[in-house]
Every structure is written in structure tokens, then in C-alpha cells.
Structure 1
Amino acid sequence: MAAGDLALVFHAHLPYVRSSEPGSLEEDWFFQALLESYLPLLEVLEASAEDRAQTPRLSLGLSPTLLSLLIAPDLRERFSPWLERRLELLRQAPGQLQEAASALATQLKRVERQWRACKGDLLPRFRRLQQQGVLDLLTCAATHGYLPLLRDNPEAVRAQLLNAVREHERLLGVRPQGIWLPECAYFEGLDQLLADSGLRYAVLDAHGLLHALPRPRYGVYAPICSPGGVAFFARDGDATLPVWSASSGYPGDGVYREFHRDLGWDLSDEALSEQGIGSRRPLGLKLHRVTAQSCPLNQKQPYAPAAAQAKAAADAGHYLAGRAEQLSGLAQAMECPLLVAPFDAELFGHWWYEGPTFLAELFRQAPAAGVGLVTLRQVLERPGELQLCRPSPSSWGQGGYHHYWLNESNAWVVPEWHRASSAMVSRVNRGVGSVRQRELLAQAGRELLLAQSSDWSFILRAGTTTELARERIDRHLDRFWRLLNAIERGVEPPAHWLNAVKVEDSLFPQLNAADWASR
């Protein structure tokens, strides 16, 4: 019998990167996540669920913006041609990379068959796994807004939560009870806003519980209940570090696939141009292995798929042995200790290519290893009372609090959010005079939510595609103010402009401007 339980919690999210231009960088982000993470994850969960010897359990957050991409008809139509272009490029891989290229081509073809079998509709598969008890589906804030930086307008936080809950129920058929807070970020009083939105549990980083008042008697190894009636779980570092750390964890092993070396950099301009790829960028075609942490990219060795798969199975066994030992020690001091291991879903497959194999092996080996797998919801359904504590403000970002999203690179956007949110709240509180004005105000709400995405602040701080991030923020704020000014002046925006905005930013069809009303 297991001495305790392990709760794996994944966060599947992409910003709203829908683009009207096929072959764009934003489209690549989505399709690479489909190819390497979301489709392999579903395949692993479904196969494990069919094996009666296994009891796979996973809490999975699906962000509303990701859901909007998964149901977009134009993106569904473009995915198969996108795969075909990559198959063509793989045929031009150098001779010494043919083994890796052949294995990757096989995966691309398998993904294509899987995609066609479900007609590109993944949501029923997620729903089915939840009905089977394999998945506990969580929501997120509507556009992954960093909630502590929106708190000056509680209405802005509430709108992020209400639209997330509403969209989750519309697309997945059931109201969510749990939420993955963006960046696991918490501020005092957020629990009441969560409860008001019908949300009952969330995950924080360790110090969110360890610095709670009073200090939880079981530390991070049991959930607590906040004064607002929301349960909070905490990340356990020992259960997460071996998996996510590229320097000291499993993904950094020399046998695994190298993330940064890609055919998008290695092939000729002519070869890329023939497939309609006009600029050099990662294409998801990686044929080298890590080799060594200090090895320069141009000296990476060819990837050997069989060796990497065997290593993933061994690492899953090693990970489970460590968790069994950890739980056995904790069981000496408490009943039913719980290890919570939250990760970005894209770690498994996209960043760590062998991650899905590791997960499949973890499900397969867990019963023999004496480690129970549970979802967060299962834990809360057990009898017993939770300790009443006030969680501490925190995040799982660098530094543990809010610095990564509020620094010299991105702080300029915070007053812009505040000014726009205040204007939205004021306009809604004064009311609108016609159905047409309500329609315009609803579109303004969509633009405001999209401008609040924490992804763009993250990119500004990381210094990667900063021009894209700034352009996205400016675009949505500009659209917001143009719509709000049209309402204030009682004029109709240019029809061609408004139609284009509605087509491009068509998410959240049930959005209600009253979500921003003061209470």
C-alpha cells in the first residue's frame, strides 16, 4: 500500500496567437505545441487509461485562450499542411541525421493520423478522460492576466475569472472547480474573488503556504483552506526539480534531444523558401542530442531515439523511487502525505521531447513503486477538515513574488492596464443606452482582456520577441480605446475596421460587459 500520494498538475496554455497569415511565428507556436505536447499527452493518457493495471491521474489546466485556439476552424485546416511541409524538409536532412529524421517523420505521420481520426477536435477527448476520472480539468484566468498587478481594479480581476469559468463550461460542458492561477500568483483577498466566481481550489508555490498565517502544521504536504473558503495546494520542490531543471534534472542528460538546435537554422534559405518559410526560426525539427551541457550547438551529436526512450523509462523509475522514499519518511509524522508536482504542460514534449514517454512510464511503473496517483479534486473529496490559514502573497516566478512581471522592461504596461480598466469600470457603471453600444462595449472588454495577458510582459522581460509582445499590447489597447471613444461620442466605428477586429479577436462569445460592474 502506498505511504502517500503524488498529484501531478499540468498547465496547458498559449496566449491568443491566432493569426490571419498562414506560416506566421505565432501559428508555429501553436502547431509545435500541438505536435509535441498536447497530442502526445492525449495519446499517453488514453493508452494508460485502457490498461487495467494502471491508474493514471492528472490535474490539467486548459487556459481559455488555448481552448479558443483548439476550436478555431482555420487553424484546424492549416495543421495538416503545416505537418506536410515539415515532412518535406526532413527529407533534406544530412546523411548522419537520417536515423533521427526517420524517427521524427514517423512521429509526424502518427500525429497526422491521430489528427484525422478525431477530425482535429480534441475537446471531446479531454471531456472523455475527465468523465473516466483520469483528468481533473482546471481553468485559468481568461487571458492569463497576472492578477496581482490588476488588483487595483477588483472588477478587472473578477472579469478575468468570470470569463474563464464561463468559457470553460461552454466548451467542456461542466463548470470548473479548480483554477491554475497565472504564474501561481496570489494576493491577499484573491480567495474571496475566486469563491465568488465558483472556484474552490488552486495551486501556489511553496512559500505561498509556508509563509501563511498561521503556518500550516503539515507544511506543503497537505492543502489548507483560506478564510474565503478556497483550498490551496503547494508545490513541492523535491517532486518538481528533477523534472523541470535543464541543468540538474533529467532533461539535461546528454542522451536526450537538444531543444535549441533546429533544421530551421541549419537548412539553406532556398530549401526553406521552397516550403513557404520566409525567415529563419525554429521549426520543431530537432535532430541532435544534448551531448553535454557545455557542448556548443555546432558540435552537438546526432540524436539516437532508442537510447533516449530507454533513458526516459529509467528516469521514471528513479523519480518514483525518490517519491516513494520521500512519502515513506513523511508518513512517519502524518497521515496521507501529499506531494504536489505542478509543471507547464509544454515541458513534456516541447521543451523536453522525451517527457511524454517519461509520463507514460511513470503511469506504468507507479503501482509497483508504491506511489499513489491522485488528482487535486480527489484529495478534496476525502473526509476530513483542512487547516484554516491565510495564504501569503507569492508566485512561482523568479524571485518568488512579482518582480518578473514588474520591472524596468515591462512596468510601463501596468499603468496602461489600470487606466483602461478604470475607464471600462466607469463606463459600465454608467450604463449603456442601446443594444449596439452593448455590442461595442463587449468587444472593448475582449480587447482589454487580451491586452492584460501576462505572456507579453514575460516576453518583454525575457528579451526574446519583444517587438511582437509590444505590438500585441499596443494593438489591443488601441482597439479598446477606439471602441470606448466611439461609445462615449455616440458614433459608429468604421465598418471595415470593426469587422476586421471582430474576426481577428472573436474569442469569448458569451462575454458580458456587466462583468466589470462594481459590486
Structure 2
Amino acid sequence: MAAGDLALVLHAHLPYVRSSEPGSLEEDWYFQALLESYLPLLEVLEASAADRAQAPRLSLGLSPTLLSLLSAPDLRERFTPWLKRRLELLKRAPAQHHGAASALAAQLERSVRQWRACKGDLLPRFRRLQRQGVLDLLTCAATHGYLPLLRHTPEAVRAQLLNAVREHERLLGVPPQGIWLPECAYYEGLDQLLASCGLRYAVLDAHGLLHGLPRPRYGVYAPICSPGGVAFFARDGDSTLPVWSASSGYPGDGAYREFHRDLGWDLSDAVLAEQGITSRRPLGLKLHRVTAQGCPLDQKQPYDPAAAQAKAADHAARYLAGRAEQLAGLRQAMERPPVLVAPFDAELFGHWWYEGPSFLAELFRQAPAAGVGLVTLRQVLERSSDLQLCRPSPSSWGQGGYHHYWLNESNAWVVPEWHRASGAMVSRVNRGVRNVREQELLAQAGRELLLAQSSDWSFILRAGTTTELARTRIQRHLDRFWRLLDAIERGVDPPAQWLKAVKAEDSLFPLLSGADWASH
């Protein structure tokens, strides 16, 4: 019998990158995540669930913006042509990469067949796995808004949560009980808003519990209950570091596929243009291996898929052995079975670390023999009736542990913009809506406000990658918000073609209502 349990928690999220223009960089982000993370994850879970010797268990957050992308008919239609363009490009790969190119082509062809078999609709597959008890599906804030920086207007936080819960139930059939807080960020009193929206548990970084009052008796190895009636789990560093760290963890092994070397940089402009690709960018076609830490990109060696798969099996065995030893030691010091919570971004598995899905498949296969029980967060709570009452500490899992990554010299300018727009939205809603036209315009203004609040754009501004894109996105949504609100205030209709285009591009959350921002 296992001395305790391991709760793997993945958070699947992308910002709302739907565009009226096919072939955009943002659309590439989505399709690459589909190819490398979401489809392989489903494939692994379904295969493991079909094996009676295994008992796969996973808590999986599906953000509302990702659900909106997954349910968009136009994106479903564009994915197969996107895959086929990459199959054509793989034919132009250098001869020394034949083995890696052939293996990748086989994955692309399998993805085409899989996509056609489910008609591009992945949501029933997620629902089926939840009914089987394999998955515990969590929600997130509606557009991944960084909630501590929205707390100045509590109605703004509540609107993020209400629309998340509503959209989750609309698309997945049942209301969520758990939530992945964006960036695992918490502030005092948030638990009361969570509970008011029907949410019952969440994950924090370790110091969110260890700095709580009183300090939890079992540290991060058991959930606590907040004064607002919400259970909180904490990240266990020992269970996450071997997987998370690219420098000292498994993903940095020389046998694994190199993330940064891509055919999008290596192929000629003429070859790319044949497939309609006119600007250089990563294409998700990577044929080199890490080789060694610090190895320059131009010296990376060809990727060997078989060697990488063997390494993933070995790393899974080592990871499970480490967790079994950790649990055995904890069990001797605890009066209850310990639980190790290991939260990760889902895109780590497959997109950033190509062999990640294979690693998960090996964890599911090897866990029974390793003496490590796999559980979902909901299962832990179903077994626990005596949680310690504790006030969690303000925290996040970002650099520095608090809010600095989303509030610094690169992105602080947007916070007062959020406050001003949120205050105006609440004020307008509280004055009442006079007719159906105002209801429609106010609902679209709410969508634009939520989209402007996405923490992804603040993160990109701080990271210094595609900063112009992030700045443009924030300003576009804020501009649309203010134009819509101005039209309501002046009692005029916005330009018909402009409004039609805005509604077509930002068409998420069909059940959203301006009343979501009403004061209570």
C-alpha cells in the first residue's frame, strides 16, 4: 500500500488569440499547443485509461479562453491545412535529419487522423475522461486576469470568476468545483469571492500556505480550509523541480529535443514562401537535440527519437522512486497520509518539453509498481474531513513569489487603465440599462474589458519577447471598450461595420451579461 499520494495538476491555457486573419503568429501559438500538448495529452490519458493495470489520475485546468478557442469552428477548419503545410515542409528537411523528420511526420499524420475522427471537437473527450474519474477538470479566471491587481474593483474580480464558471459549465456540462488561480496568485479575502461563485478548492505556491496564519501543521503536505470555506493545496518543490527546471531538471537532458532550433529559421525564404509563410517564425518543426547544456544552436546534433523515448522512461522511474522515498519519510512524521501536489503548465508537456507526454505515459504505467498512488485534488478532499482552518498568505508562483512580475516598470502602466475601465463599467451597470441595444453594447464592452485584463500580455511585456504584440492587444481591447461605453452614454450606434468586426473577432462568452459587474 502506498504511503501517500501524488496529485499531478496541469494548467492548460492560452490567451484569446483568435484572429480574423488566418496564419497569424498568435494562431500559430494555438496550433502548436494543439499538436504538441493537447492532442498528445488526450492520447496518453485515453490509452492509459484503457489499460486495466493502470489508474491514471490528473487534475487539469482548462482556461475559459482556451475552451473558447477549442470550440471555435473556424479554427477547427484551419488546423488540418496548417498540419499539411508542415508535412510538406518536412519533406525539405536535410538528409541527416531523416529519422527525426520521419518520426515527426508520423505524428503530424496521426494528428490529422485523430482530428478528423473527432471532427475537431476535443471537448467530448475531456468530458468522457472526467466521467471515468481519470480527470478532475478545473476552471480559471475568465481571461486569466491577475486577480490581486484587479482587487481595487471587487466587481471586476467577481466578473472574471462568474464568467469562468458559467463558460466551463456551458462547454463541459457540469459546473467546476476547483480553480487554477491565474499565476496561483492570491490576496486576502479572495476566498470569499471564490466561494460565492461555487468554487471550493485551489492551488497556491508553497509560501501561500507556509506563511499562512496559523502555520499549517502539515506544511504543504495536506490541504487547509480558509475562513471563507475554500480548500487550498500547496505546491511541493521537491515534486516539481525535477520536471520544471530546464537547467537542472529532466527537460535539459542532452537526448531530448531542442526547443529553440526550428526549421522556421533553417529553411530558405523561397521554401517557406512555397507554403505561404512570408515571415520567419518558429514552425514547431524541430529536428535537433539539446546535445549539452550551453551548446550553441549551430552546434546542436540531430535528434534521435528512440533514445529520447528511452530517456523519458528512465526519468519517470527515477521521479517515482524519489516520490516513493519522500512519501515514506513523511508518513513516519504525519498522522495522516501525505499528499504531494505537483502543479505545472500543461504546455510544458509536449510544447516546451517535447517528450513530456511520453514521461506522463510512463508515470501512469510505472506508478502502481513504484508504490505511488495517483489522485486528483477532488479525491483528496473527498477523503479528508478534518482540514485545518488557516488564512492563506498573499502569494503567487511568479518570480519573487508575490506580484512583482505583473507589476513592474515594464507593465505597471496598464494597472490604472484596468482600474479606470473597471470603475466606469461598474458605474454604468449600476445606473441600469434602458433597452436591448444597450444590453448588447454593454455585454460587448464587458468582453473587451475582460480581454484587456489578461495576465498574459503583462507577462510578455515583462519577459520582453513579443512586447509590441502584447501592447497592441491591451490597447486594442481598451479602445474598443471605451468606444462602446461612449456609444451607450451618448445614445448613438457605433459604426455598423466596426461593430460587426469587433463582435466577430471577440465573440467569446456568449452568456456574458453587463449585470456581472453589478455591485452587491
Report what 2:293 is aligned to: 293
Correspondence for 1:389: 390
Q: How far does residue 432 in structure 1 lie from its aligned partner after superposition?
A: 1.3
Residue of structure 1 equivalent to 2:266: 266
SS of residue matched to 2:77: helix
Equivalent in the alignment of 1:326: 326
Instruction: Provide runs of 4+ in structure 1 moved above 4 Å.
Output: none
What is aligned with 1:83? 83
> 1:140 is paired with a residue of what secondary structure?
coil
Between the aligned partners of 2:444 and 2:94, the Cα distance in structure 1 is 50
Mean CA deviation greater in 415-424 or 376-385: 376-385
- Which letter maps to 2:272? L
What displacement does 1:21 show? 1.2
Shift of 1:383: 4.2
> What is residue 471 of structure 2 aligned with on the other side?
470
What is residue 229 of structure 1 aligned with on the other side? 229
- RMSD (CA atoms): 0.4
Listed as ranges, the matches of 1:497-516 within 5 Å are 497-516=498-517
Residue of structure 1 equivalent to 2:363: 362
Q: Secondary structure at the match of 1:195?
A: helix
Residue identity opposite 2:493 in structure 1: E
Partner Cα distance (1:237, 1:385) in 2: 24
Q: Please give the alpha-carbon distance, in whole angstroms, between the structure 1 residues aligned to 2:481 and 2:21.
A: 23
Matched AA of 1:376: L
Q: Which residue of 2 aligns with 1:346?
A: 347
CA distance in 2, matches of 1:358, 1:311: 9
Matches of 2:338 and 2:80, distance apart in 1: 45
Secondary structure at the residue paired with 1:46? helix
Matches within 5 A, 1:401-412: 401-412=402-413
Distance 2:513 2:337 in 1: 43
1:371 maps to amino acid: V
Equivalent positions of 1:142-153 (< 5 A) are: 142-153=142-153
Instruction: Please name the residue that 2:197 is paired with.
Output: 197
| Alpha-carbon displacement from aligned partner over 1:14-67 (angstroms, at most 9, x marks no partner) | 000001111110110000000000000000000000000000000000000000
Q: What secondary structure sits across from 1:315 in the alignment?
A: helix
Match in the other structure for 1:105: 105
SS in 2 for 1:31: helix
SS at match of 2:55: coil
Structure-1 separation of matches of 2:466 and 2:247: 24
TM-score by length of structure 2 reads: 1.00
The Cα of 1:152 is off from its aligned counterpart by 0.3
Offset, 1:384: 2.4
Q: Distance in 1 between matches of 2:419 and 2:289?
A: 46
CA displacement at 1:203 relative to structure 2: 0.1
Query: Are residues 1:118 and 2:118 paired?
Result: yes
Q: CA separation in 1, counterparts of 2:439 and 2:105?
A: 50
> Corresponding residue for 1:377?
378
Amino acid at match of 2:412: A
Which residues in structure 2 correspond to 1:1-80 (within 5 Å)? 1-80=1-80
Measured in 1, the distance between the counterparts of 2:104 and 2:398 equals 33
Distance 2:278 2:398 in 1: 35
Task: State whether structure 2 residue 392 is matched by structure 1 residue 416.
Answer: no
Partner amino acid for 1:6?
L
Query: Does the residue aligned with 1:346 lie in a helix, a strand or coil?
Result: helix
Q: Separation in 1 of the partners of 2:49 and 2:93?
A: 37
C-alpha separation in 1, matches of 2:513 and 2:340: 39
User: What amino acid is aligned across from residue 34 of structure 2 in structure 1?
Assistant: L
Whole-angstrom CA distance in 1 between matches of 2:412 and 2:349: 31
What is the distance in 1 between the residues matched to 2:23 and 2:16? 16
2:291 is paired with a residue whose SS is coil
Q: How many residues align?
A: 519
> Residue 139 of structure 2 aligns to a residue in which SS?
strand
In structure 2, the gaps of 5 or more residues are: none
1:457 matched to which residue of 2? 458
Answer with 422-431 or 379-388: which moved more. Answer: 379-388
SS of equivalent to 2:343:
strand
Which residue does the alignment assign to 1:141? 141
Residue 358 of structure 1 aligns with an amino acid whose one-letter code is: F
Look up the equivalent residue of 1:390 and give its one-letter code: R
1:434 is aligned to: 435
Structure 1: 5+ residue stretches without partners: none
SS at match of 2:59: strand
Q: Give the C-alpha shift of residue 333 in structure 1.
A: 1.1
Q: Which amino acid aligns with 1:199?
A: L
SS in 2 for 1:11: strand
Q: Find the aligned partners of 2:427 and 2:211 in 1 and give their Cα distance.
A: 36
**C-alpha distance in structure 2 between counterparts of 1:480 and 1:24, whole Å:** 23
Query: Residue in 1 aligned with 2:489?
Result: 488
2:256 and 2:473 map into 1 onto residues whose CA distance is 35
Say which SS state the counterpart of residue 104 (structure 1) adopts: helix
Aligned equivalent of 1:176: 176
Q: TM-score if structure 1 supplies the norm length?
A: 1.00
Q: One-letter code of the match for 1:279? A: S
Quote the Cα distance in structure 2 between the aligned partners of 1:196 and 1:252.
Answer: 43
| Superposition deviation, residue 294 in structure 1 | 1.3
Secondary structure at the aligned position of 1:331 is classed as helix
Q: Secondary structure at the match of 1:192?
A: helix
One-letter amino acid of the structure 2 residue matched with residue 445 of structure 1: G
Separation (CA, whole Å) in 2 of partners of 1:161 and 1:330 = 36
Query: Which residue identity is paired with 1:80?
Result: T
Partner of 1:251: 251
- Give SS of 1:137's match: strand
